[in-house]
Chain A
């Protein structure tokens, strides 16, 4: 079956612009995570959804970052007033349920803010 997909694969934007990054989890997976991976670092947690609700958004760096999952499947990470420091690979992962211990990752979106 299909794995986690993310679009776009790459996104280049200018400082101050708004961007949306999309994640399609594996069908039937109720748990969804967003991580950010800066150059030379491991991924860092941003936000976790269980179903439609954000169960833990403690990793979001500031209020320019927001994520939604309106129907409990596809999720969109939204970044307002982008800054050069937002440049990173944004990874999405999904799990079958909240009591699964394996997260399946997508290929990520590389965001470059000029």
Chain B
């Protein structure tokens, strides 16, 4: 079975600074995807960034980037130039990929990020 661990329940960062959220996972699967989702108080899960396990290059999306260490099963999220609107819960998630089709998402417990002015 797959597990996802987020060891930081809460973090805070000053506006315009950089913050890194940690995530580790455990799996015996060879094909999978990793995701970071943002959940603001509105409850709507929003995809921030995704990483295909077979790709060595780290994914980036504007101010968001990941550090994917496959051997260590680590998948951290770096937010640069933090903005007040980044305040939210952030969830790391794993998806098995088998036979060209997706499995369900397996989530960590989340990290509550507060961006302070």
Query: How many Å from the CB of B45 to the closest CB on chain A?
Result: 4
A93-B45, A98-B101, A107-B43 as given contacts; A45 in contact with B33, CB under 8 Å = no
A-B contact count (CB 8 A): 61
Write the A11-29 contact mask toward B (1 if CB under 8 angstroms, else 0).
0000000000000000000
The interface size bin for chain B is: 20 to 34
| Contact in complex: A56, B104 (CB < 8 Å) | yes
Contact of A108 among B43, B50, B91, B95 (CB under 8 A): B43
Provide the residues of chain A in CB contact with B93, threshold 8 Å: 42
| Residues of A in contact, count (CB < 8 Å) | 28
A107-B42, A107-B44 as given contacts; A100 in contact with B107, CB under 8 Å = no
Residues of B contacting A: mostly: strand
Tell me the nearest residue of chain A to B32, going by C-beta. A101
Query: How many Å from the CB of A50 to the closest CB on chain B?
Result: 9
The answer to the question of A52 belonging to the interface, with a C-beta cut-off of 8 Å to chain B, is: no
Q: Which residues of A line the B interface, CB within 8 A?
A: 31, 33, 35, 40-45, 48, 56, 59, 89, 91, 93, 95, 98-108, 110
